[in-house]
Amino acid sequence: MADCDVTGLKTLPLDALHRELGGRMVPFAGYAMPVQYPSGVMAEHLWTRESAGLFDVSHMGQLTLEGEGAAQWLETIAPGDFLALAPGRMRYSLLLADDGGILDDLMVTSTGRYFYLVVNGATKQGDIAHMCARLPAGLVLTHLEHFALLALQGPKAVEVMLRLGVKPEGADIPTIEAMKFMTAGPYLWGDVRLGVSRSGYTGEDGYEISLPAGDARAFAEALLADPAVKPIGLGARDSLRLEAGLPLYGHDLTPEIEPVEAGLGFAVSKRRKAEGGFPGAERILKALADGPARKRVGLKLDGRQPAREGAELFSGGEKLGVVTSGGFAPSVGAPIAMGYVPAAFAAEGTALEIEVRGKRLGATVVPTPFHQKNYVR
């Protein structure tokens, strides 16, 4: 229970608000961030599943990519079909190393005029360096450093956005409630411009909202004034995404892991599967054709004791791999984990063992998500 020294860390635009709300600040991705508020991780997790939770994810990197040939160039660093990405649509993608290893996972949105990218906080400087080193003349990559990013997640997110009076900016933009999952557009809250997408990292319906840092406090306070909304920290963000079966970069995804073994083959678009031409295409297309040697699996543990990242997976005397994320799942009511095992042990129902502090815990390979997703398709 050592205290964390958070001095020298960068602060979020909403730092003061988090502290006023009683957020316990910890270092994460170089920022002082709230890991939980006074109600605690369990209550915050369950609140998000039944009402609406407000997350400050302003540590994440927000970038724009503009210029003639931007889609073609994106296809040289990531395996998505960006030529066919229609304005207002967003796609989950992967920044790939030359050997096909995953450098980061990201969201790519087409606005029609430019692409808007959201990358992980801990990797954003590396991502920017990677992209700048490869950027051809005529394309402009801009880091939106003075923008905040908030996520409003949960079944009541839609009614909260409507009560706040968030409106589309333009007649061709759908209303907040008519937005489909994985779409985005420009919206207005009063005269504040918001970039809103219907997306998230919790397995729930909800929105991610980009806005100028200077407007973030007023908007966050307006959301929190709604009785359906509570602030949610990093602790519940992690347990929510784990239950939703969503991998976390730096833990479940690393440069040593290629997309197919990570269960992210869907991020390689159909046309790209046929044409290749993305980093590591040979290795990734081979894994798609032959099946990967190992796979990321979901694990449900017997009993109540959780297994954490780094715990080793066994079948009898044979070491299979390690847990890459693990914890107690509040909505499942049991400990769950993710990890990598040889393909022969990846079938649903396979019984494995996880070693925790010298003791073997029984676990079973289960399908993910662990908790049913509630997206609005």
The residues of the shown chain that bind another protein, judged by CB under 8 A, are: 1, 3, 35-36, 40-43, 45, 235-236, 238-239, 304-306, 308, 327-328, 330, 335, 357
Complex with another protein: residue 49 or 198, whichever CB lies closer: 49
Nearer to another protein, 188 or 332 (CB): 332
Find the shortest distance in angstroms from Cβ 23 to another protein. 13
Least distance to another protein, CB of residue 40, Å:
5
Q: What are phi and psi of 118, to 5 degrees?
A: -120, 120
Q: Phi and psi of 336, rounded to 5°?
A: -135, 165
In angstroms, give the least distance from the CB of 360 to another protein.
14
The two structure tokens encoding residue 120: 């992980």
**Is the CB of 179 or the CB of 329 nearer to another protein?**
329
* CB atoms near residue 310 (< 10 Å): 12
At 252, give phi and psi (nearest 5°).
Answer: -85, -20
> Which token pair is 135?
């950027």
Q: For residues 230 and 283, which CB has a smaller minimum distance to another protein in the complex?
A: 230
Contact 74, 68 (CB under 8 A): no
338 CB-contact burial (10 Å; exposed 0-12 / middle 13-18 / buried 19+): buried
CA distances from 257 to 60, 81, 97, 227, 335 (A): 22, 21, 10, 43, 25
Count of alpha carbons within 13 angstroms of residue 123, beta-carbon side: 21
Cβ at position 1, least distance to another protein in Å:
5
**Nearest distance, CB of residue 330 and another protein, angstroms:** 6
Is the CB of 41 or the CB of 78 nearer to another protein? Answer: 41
6 vs 42 by CB, closer to another protein? 42
What is the closest distance, in whole angstroms, from the C-beta atom of residue 176 to another protein in the complex?
31
50: tokens are 């039944």
Neighbours of 24 (CB within 10 A): 17
